[in-house]
Amino acid sequence: MRASVLHGVEDLRFEEVDDPEPGPGEIALRPAHNGICGSDLHMYYATGPVAPTVLGHEFAGTVTALGEGVTDLAVGTRIAVRPIDACGHCQQCAAGNTHRCFPPRFIGCNVAGGGLAERSVVPRVTAFPLPETVSLELGALVEPMAVSFNGIVQSRIEAGGTAVVLGGGPIGIGVLLGLRAIGVTDTVVVEPSTVRRDVVDRLGAADVLDPTTDDVAAVIRARTAGRGADAVFECAGVANAFNTALSIVTPGGRVVIVALYEEPVTFSPFPLITGELEVVGSMAYAPGVFERVVDLMAAGHYATDGWVEHIAWDDIVGEGFTPLRQGRRAKVLVDVT
Decide if 274 is inside a domain: yes
CA dihedral (3, 135, 315, 305) in degrees, to 10, reads -160
pLDDT value at residue 327: 92
> 122 and 177: one domain?
no
CATH number at residue 172: 3.40.50.720
Decide if 299 is inside a domain: no
pLDDT value at residue 262: 84
How do residues 164-176 score in pLDDT, each as one tens digit? Answer: 999 999 999 999 9
Return the HEC string of 53-85: EECCCEEEEEEEEECCCCCCCCCCCEEEECCEC
How do residues 283-319 score in pLDDT, each as one tens digit? Answer: 999 999 999 999 999 999 999 999 999 999 989 999 9
Decide if 255 is inside a domain: yes
> 133 and 170: one domain?
no
What is the domain count for the chain?
2
> 14 and 95: one domain?
yes
Decide if 86 is inside a domain: yes
pLDDT value at residue 267: 93
> 136 and 151: one domain?
no
> 124 and 158: one domain?
no
Decide if 268 is inside a domain: yes
> 168 and 72: one domain?
no
How do residues 14-37 score in pLDDT, each as one tens digit? Answer: 999 999 999 999 999 999 999 999
> 313 and 271: one domain?
no
Decide if 294 is inside a domain: no
Structural domain span for residue 228: 145-281
- Band (2; pLDDT cuts 50, 70, 90): very high
> 122 and 152: one domain?
no
> 164 and 238: one domain?
yes
pLDDT value at residue 190: 98
Asked if 85 contacts 35 with a C-beta cutoff of 8 angstroms, the reply is no
> 47 and 133: one domain?
yes
How do residues 120-150 score in pLDDT, each as one tens digit? Answer: 999 999 999 999 999 999 999 999 999 999 9
Asked if 113 contacts 272 with a C-beta cutoff of 8 angstroms, the reply is no
Decide if 292 is inside a domain: no
pLDDT value at residue 337: 80
How do residues 254-266 score in pLDDT, each as one tens digit? Answer: 999 999 888 899 9
- Band (46; pLDDT cuts 50, 70, 90): very high
What is the C-alpha to C-alpha distance for residues 32 and 289, in angstroms, rounded to an integer?
A: 23
How do residues 206-228 score in pLDDT, each as one tens digit? Answer: 999 999 999 999 999 999 999 99
Decide if 39 is inside a domain: yes
> 169 and 270: one domain?
yes
CATH number at residue 72: 3.90.180.10
pLDDT value at residue 290: 97
> 43 and 23: one domain?
yes
